[in-house]
Amino acid sequence: MSNRIKSLLRYGIPVVIAAVLYFTAQIVDRSQANDFTGLFLLMTLAMAWNLVGGFGGQFSLGHSIFVGVGSYATAVILTTLGWPLIPTMLVAAVMSALIGLLLAYPLLRLRGPYLAVGSLGMAVASYGWMINWNFTKASQAYAVPPAGQISLQETYQFATILLLVAVVSIIALVRSPLGLRLVALRDNEAGAASIGVKRVRTLLPVWALSGLLTGAMGAVYALQSGSLTVDATFNIQFSLDAAIVCVIGGLGTLSGPIIGSFIVYYLRKYSADFQNYALLIEAVFLVVVVRFFPSGIVGLVSKGYKAIVSRRADSSSK
């Protein structure tokens, strides 16, 4: 198969799937539209985090900042400036990307657990600042103005487009020279540095793209929620959810965040009926995956496929 055909399939399949999902918005009911929106936003969040945490090996716990900035920027711009919805969401995403650059520059001087703790400290500091800032009504609920109060079906369409953008942009980055340098840094930083790969210079645009996608996710989350609180939008749980999804699905893989999002989202949905046992069920599932399938579901499937191919090759050679 030629490289051109592979490229067409690589980008064409997500576009076709997204087009089908986009036009199904007219036939799904409100409950289904809300579920699909939540699922797609979780996928986008996990894929954005996976750029930094999976492909880059930088375990960040600060992505809740980007969600909060994207959400509040959307609501505040719509309220104070009265801009159209789509330009507002784009500006909110760009603001998150810029903040991603500002946070990444000092954080990338840290490594391993120090980076995780440093990013967590920034997330906690951002939460403390926002909850005392009167400009965003401090700890009170901030209602999204009428311009952002769209139907659940329209929100579902926004989430679909955003997920497509995330998939295509991440595929393009991973397949690019920047993506190769990123993985080289993750696998062997000293070896990558010896051939001229600059750590900070390589990671800064990756953090910017991760912040951009997460901020856009926060903007759509604001439309879905209708009103915002600092407790909800700057919640550290967003960062934890992204990490959990990627660990279950497969860190540093393209399909891992998508598979992990399906599992986590519907595991939470159907285990919610068990009330106090819901968190225990999720915790046990996570421990089992980490203990027995450290490469995640994608790694498990890949090993199974290779074992079957190897067995067939051995049997045919006899």
CA distance 303 to 307: 6
Q: Write out the DSSP string of 91-108.
A: HHHHHHHHHHHHHHHHHT
Q: Which of 189, 182, 176, 175 is nearest to 203 (CA)?
A: 182
- Structure-token pair, residue 136: 């965003």
Task: For residues 109 and 99, give the distance between their C-alpha atoms in angstroms, rounded to a whole number.
Answer: 17
pTM score over 0.85 = yes
Pull the structure tokens for residue 246.
Answer: 């990627």
Report for 27-36, 172-181, 211-220: range of highest mean pLDDT: 211-220
Q: What is the pLDDT of residue 149?
A: 86
Taking only the tens place, the pLDDT of each residue in 108-156 is: 888 888 888 999 999 999 988 888 887 777 678 888 888 888 989 999 9
Q: Which residues contact 26 (CB under 8 A, 6 or more apart)?
A: 153
Mean pLDDT of the chain: 88
CA R_g for the chain? 20
Angle between the N-to-C axes of helices 30-50 and 237-249, in degrees from 0 to 180, rounded to the nearest 10: 80
- List pLDDT tens digits, range 240-299: 999 999 999 999 898 999 999 999 999 888 887 777 777 888 888 888 888 888 888 988
pLDDT tens across 15-38, in order?
899 999 999 988 888 889 999 999
Task: Give the whole-angstrom CA distance, residue 166 versus residue 132.
Answer: 33
Residues 6+ apart with CB under 8 A from 77: 83, 88, 91, 92
Percent of the chain predicted with pLDDT > 70 = 97
